[in-house]
Amino acid sequence: MNENLESLMYPIGRYQRQDGYTPELLKEWITVLKHLPSWMDACIENLDAHQLQTPYREGGWTIQQVVHHVADSHANAYIRLKLALTEDNPTIKPYNEYRWALLNDVQDVPVNVSVTMLHTMHIRMVSVMNSMQPTDWERTYFHPEHKRDIPVWEMTAMYAWHSRHHTEHIMRLRERMGW
Ligand code: NI
Protein backbone atom coordinates (compact mmCIF):
# COMPACT_ATOMS: atom_id res chain seq x y z
CA MET A 1 0.00 0.00 0.00
CA ASN A 2 1.41 3.40 -0.82
CA GLU A 3 2.39 5.59 2.08
CA ASN A 4 -0.27 8.21 1.52
CA LEU A 5 -3.15 5.72 1.37
CA GLU A 6 -1.78 3.97 4.45
CA SER A 7 -1.77 7.23 6.42
CA LEU A 8 -5.26 8.14 5.19
CA MET A 9 -6.62 4.74 6.19
CA TYR A 10 -4.64 4.47 9.43
CA PRO A 11 -4.06 8.04 10.64
CA ILE A 12 -2.88 6.89 14.09
CA GLY A 13 -1.30 3.70 12.74
CA ARG A 14 -2.75 0.20 12.70
CA TYR A 15 -3.83 -1.38 15.95
CA GLN A 16 -0.75 -2.74 17.70
CA ARG A 17 -1.48 -5.86 19.69
CA GLN A 18 -0.64 -5.18 23.34
CA ASP A 19 1.46 -7.67 25.28
CA GLY A 20 -0.07 -6.69 28.57
CA TYR A 21 -1.51 -3.83 30.52
CA THR A 22 -0.95 -1.71 33.59
CA PRO A 23 -3.50 0.10 35.77
CA GLU A 24 -2.34 3.34 34.13
CA LEU A 25 -2.97 2.01 30.62
CA LEU A 26 -6.41 0.73 31.62
CA LYS A 27 -7.26 4.11 33.04
CA GLU A 28 -6.14 5.78 29.82
CA TRP A 29 -8.23 3.42 27.63
CA ILE A 30 -11.33 3.87 29.79
CA THR A 31 -10.87 7.64 29.62
CA VAL A 32 -10.79 7.45 25.83
CA LEU A 33 -14.02 5.43 25.83
CA LYS A 34 -15.58 7.95 28.19
CA HIS A 35 -14.73 10.81 25.83
CA LEU A 36 -15.45 9.19 22.48
CA PRO A 37 -19.12 10.32 22.34
CA SER A 38 -18.16 13.97 22.82
CA TRP A 39 -15.41 13.57 20.21
CA MET A 40 -18.14 12.41 17.82
CA ASP A 41 -20.13 15.55 18.72
CA ALA A 42 -17.12 17.62 17.68
CA CYS A 43 -16.66 15.53 14.51
CA ILE A 44 -20.13 16.36 13.18
CA GLU A 45 -20.50 19.86 14.59
CA ASN A 46 -21.84 22.32 12.00
CA LEU A 47 -21.55 19.91 9.08
CA ASP A 48 -24.29 20.13 6.46
CA ALA A 49 -25.93 17.23 4.61
CA HIS A 50 -23.50 17.45 1.71
CA GLN A 51 -20.44 17.48 3.96
CA LEU A 52 -21.76 14.42 5.84
CA GLN A 53 -21.94 12.56 2.53
CA THR A 54 -18.25 13.20 1.81
CA PRO A 55 -15.94 10.16 2.01
CA TYR A 56 -13.15 10.57 4.57
CA ARG A 57 -10.82 9.43 1.76
CA GLU A 58 -11.34 8.54 -1.89
CA GLY A 59 -13.25 5.26 -2.01
CA GLY A 60 -13.77 5.22 1.76
CA TRP A 61 -16.84 5.53 3.94
CA THR A 62 -18.64 8.86 4.13
CA ILE A 63 -18.57 10.78 7.41
CA GLN A 64 -22.14 9.60 7.94
CA GLN A 65 -21.12 5.96 7.46
CA VAL A 66 -18.13 6.36 9.77
CA VAL A 67 -20.28 7.76 12.60
CA HIS A 68 -22.94 5.07 12.25
CA HIS A 69 -20.20 2.43 11.99
CA VAL A 70 -18.67 3.56 15.29
CA ALA A 71 -22.09 3.10 16.94
CA ASP A 72 -22.54 -0.34 15.32
CA SER A 73 -19.06 -1.42 16.31
CA HIS A 74 -19.26 -0.20 19.90
CA ALA A 75 -22.71 -1.76 20.35
CA ASN A 76 -21.03 -5.08 19.52
CA ALA A 77 -18.19 -4.25 21.93
CA TYR A 78 -20.63 -3.49 24.73
CA ILE A 79 -22.40 -6.81 24.22
CA ARG A 80 -19.05 -8.68 24.03
CA LEU A 81 -17.93 -7.07 27.28
CA LYS A 82 -21.08 -8.19 29.07
CA LEU A 83 -20.91 -11.68 27.57
CA ALA A 84 -17.30 -12.09 28.68
CA LEU A 85 -18.15 -10.97 32.23
CA THR A 86 -21.14 -13.23 32.62
CA GLU A 87 -20.21 -16.41 30.72
CA ASP A 88 -17.16 -18.65 30.59
CA ASN A 89 -15.13 -17.70 27.52
CA PRO A 90 -18.19 -17.23 25.26
CA THR A 91 -17.80 -17.39 21.49
CA ILE A 92 -18.80 -14.00 20.14
CA LYS A 93 -20.52 -13.28 16.85
CA PRO A 94 -18.43 -11.45 14.25
CA TYR A 95 -20.37 -9.28 11.83
CA ASN A 96 -19.78 -7.91 8.35
CA GLU A 97 -19.14 -4.22 9.00
CA TYR A 98 -19.10 -3.36 5.30
CA ARG A 99 -22.58 -4.79 4.77
CA TRP A 100 -23.85 -3.22 7.99
CA ALA A 101 -22.67 0.15 6.67
CA LEU A 102 -24.92 -0.25 3.62
CA LEU A 103 -28.17 -0.89 5.50
CA ASN A 104 -30.88 1.71 5.50
CA ASP A 105 -30.34 3.04 9.03
CA VAL A 106 -26.81 4.03 8.01
CA GLN A 107 -28.01 5.60 4.76
CA ASP A 108 -31.08 7.41 6.09
CA VAL A 109 -30.93 8.06 9.82
CA PRO A 110 -29.35 11.36 10.90
CA VAL A 111 -25.88 10.90 12.43
CA ASN A 112 -26.85 12.60 15.68
CA VAL A 113 -29.04 9.57 16.44
CA SER A 114 -25.93 7.39 16.53
CA VAL A 115 -24.00 9.98 18.53
CA THR A 116 -26.82 9.94 21.11
CA MET A 117 -26.65 6.15 21.07
CA LEU A 118 -22.89 6.37 21.77
CA HIS A 119 -23.44 8.84 24.63
CA THR A 120 -25.93 6.56 26.35
CA MET A 121 -24.18 3.26 25.58
CA HIS A 122 -20.75 4.47 26.68
CA ILE A 123 -22.17 5.59 30.04
CA ARG A 124 -23.21 1.99 30.60
CA MET A 125 -19.98 0.51 29.22
CA VAL A 126 -17.76 2.80 31.32
CA SER A 127 -19.90 2.15 34.40
CA VAL A 128 -19.23 -1.57 34.04
CA MET A 129 -15.51 -0.99 33.44
CA ASN A 130 -15.11 1.30 36.43
CA SER A 131 -16.45 -1.42 38.72
CA MET A 132 -14.22 -4.21 37.38
CA GLN A 133 -11.72 -6.03 39.60
CA PRO A 134 -8.28 -7.21 38.38
CA THR A 135 -9.57 -10.76 37.75
CA ASP A 136 -12.45 -9.39 35.64
CA TRP A 137 -9.98 -7.79 33.23
CA GLU A 138 -8.47 -11.24 32.56
CA ARG A 139 -11.81 -12.73 31.54
CA THR A 140 -11.98 -13.65 27.87
CA TYR A 141 -14.21 -14.26 24.91
CA PHE A 142 -13.36 -16.43 21.94
CA HIS A 143 -13.21 -14.64 18.60
CA PRO A 144 -13.90 -17.26 15.88
CA GLU A 145 -12.31 -15.18 13.10
CA HIS A 146 -9.13 -14.34 15.01
CA LYS A 147 -9.27 -17.88 16.41
CA ARG A 148 -8.09 -16.91 19.87
CA ASP A 149 -9.29 -15.97 23.33
CA ILE A 150 -9.33 -12.21 23.77
CA PRO A 151 -9.11 -10.85 27.30
CA VAL A 152 -11.37 -7.95 28.24
CA TRP A 153 -8.37 -5.69 28.89
CA GLU A 154 -7.25 -6.22 25.29
CA MET A 155 -10.73 -5.57 23.96
CA THR A 156 -10.64 -2.28 25.86
CA ALA A 157 -7.30 -1.37 24.26
CA MET A 158 -8.71 -2.25 20.83
CA TYR A 159 -11.80 -0.08 21.18
CA ALA A 160 -9.81 2.81 22.60
CA TRP A 161 -7.66 2.58 19.45
CA HIS A 162 -10.83 2.28 17.34
CA SER A 163 -12.28 5.42 18.95
CA ARG A 164 -9.23 7.49 18.09
CA HIS A 165 -8.86 5.86 14.66
CA HIS A 166 -12.29 6.94 13.39
CA THR A 167 -12.26 10.31 15.14
CA GLU A 168 -9.05 11.09 13.25
CA HIS A 169 -10.59 9.99 9.93
CA ILE A 170 -13.20 12.70 10.29
CA MET A 171 -11.06 15.37 11.94
CA ARG A 172 -8.30 15.08 9.33
CA LEU A 173 -10.82 15.31 6.51
CA ARG A 174 -12.26 18.47 8.10
CA GLU A 175 -8.77 19.86 8.39
CA ARG A 176 -7.95 19.12 4.75
CA MET A 177 -11.24 20.63 3.59
CA GLY A 178 -10.97 23.64 5.86
CA TRP A 179 -14.32 22.78 7.53
NI1 NI B 1 -13.95 0.64 12.45
Residue 171 maps to which CATH number?
Answer: 1.20.120.450
Please report the pLDDT score of residue 1 as a whole number: 65
From ligand 1's centre to the CA of 56, what distance in Å?
A: 13
Å from CA of 6 to ligand 1 middle: 15
Q: Is residue 14 part of a domain?
A: no
Query: Is residue 17 included in any domain, yes or no?
Result: no
The answer on pLDDT for 168 being more than 70 is yes
Closest by alpha carbon to 98, among 69, 77, 119, 123?
69
Q: How confident is the model at residue 2 (pLDDT cuts 50, 70, 90)?
A: confident
Ligand 1 centre from 128 Cα, in Å? Answer: 22
How far, in Å, is the centroid of ligand 1 from the Cα of 99?
Answer: 13
Whether 140 is covered by a domain: the verdict is: yes
Q: How far is the CA of 67 from the centre of ligand 1 (A)?
A: 10
Q: Can you give the residue range of the structural domain that contains 45?
A: 31-177
| Mean pLDDT score of the chain | 97
Query: 16 CA to middle of ligand 1, Å?
Result: 15
Beta bridge partners, 91, equal 142
Q: What is the spatial distance between Cα 68 and Cα 50, in angstroms, rounded to a whole number?
A: 16
Question: For 18-57, how does the pLDDT look when each residue is reduced to its tens digit (9 = 90+)?
Answer: 889 999 999 999 999 999 999 999 999 999 999 999 999 9
pTM over 0.85: yes
Tell whether 5 is covered by a domain: no
User: How many angstroms separate the alpha carbon of residue 77 from the centre of ligand 1?
Assistant: 11
